[in-house]
Amino acid sequence: MPRPDTAKPGALRRDAERNRERVVRAARELFAERGLSAGFNEVAHRAGVGVGTVYRRFADKDELIRAALEEPLHELIEVAQRAVEASRAWDGLELLLDSITQLLVDNLGLRDVALGGGAWDLGVDEVERVAEVMAALLERAAVEGDLREGVQGDDVVMVLWLVTDLAQHSGQVRPGLHRRYLQVLLDGLRSGPGRAPLVEGFTEEQAQSICRRWAGAP
């Protein structure tokens, strides 16, 4: 539902620009704390601005989300870059997952787009790129014998959901608790003596569908 005066060609008045800035900052904070379900009214309130101002500047939620998540999405890429450099793939994987988890926990909105399986579709190829890095790392880890038999790529996505979901519930009470279970899960995904292969896998379509539900697909 685009409003007539949204996305102007000319520049904004000085005060309007300042307000826009405030709105983006408020949205970033709010989305980070509570995920993309935060509404326009709330963003406006946190920005110390009328609701009208928010609707005036952003045609729809996607536009606001994109503005609010630009920066965190870049961090995601950087983190991936650092992880591929590890000499042993499993170490890189642990580093990557630890970093991603931290990023997603610190910004639940980012989680919604990164793990949402297109639930909030804005075209984010950053996510694609990170996924590729992860897939490569996984393959290398398998070759190096560190990956438990039967583990598939989407297992990692599920692990991220599990852990970030825990963080969402525990964050206020006991910050950082999620790292404990990330460790447990990763250790369970690693190969080792007496480890039976993982059975009963699942398809990529199933994974995507689950993710969309988890993100609260609109």
Partner DNA sequence: TGCGAAGCGGATGATGCTCATCCGCTTCGG
Partner DNA sequence: CCGAAGCGGATGAGCATCATCCGCTTCGCA
> Least distance (Å) from a second copy to the CB of residue 59?
31
Binding mask 5-34 for DNA (x = CB under 7 A): x--x---xxxxx--x---------------
- Residue 189 interacts, among a second copy, DNA, none and using kind-specific CB cut-offs from 5 to 8 Å, with a second copy
Stretch that binds a second copy, among 27-35, 40-48, 104-112, 177-185 (CB under 8 A): 177-185
CA nearest neighbour of 128 among 76, 88, 180:
76
> Least distance (Å) from DNA to the CB of residue 67?
15
CA distance 34 to 117: 19
* Contact between 73 and DNA per CB under 7 A: no
Q: Please identify, using beta-carbon distances, which residue of 48 and 153 lies nearer to DNA.
A: 48
- Residue 19 interacts, among DNA, a second copy, none and using kind-specific CB cut-offs from 5 to 8 Å, with DNA
Q: How many CB atoms lie within 10 A of CB 25?
A: 14
Q: Please identify, using beta-carbon distances, which residue of 126 and 155 lies nearer to a second copy.
A: 155
CA distance 11 to 17: 9
Q: Please identify, using beta-carbon distances, which residue of 145 and 193 lies nearer to a second copy.
A: 193
CA distance 154 to 20: 38
In contact, 117 and 215? CB cutoff 8 Å: yes
In contact, 49 and 23? CB cutoff 8 Å: yes
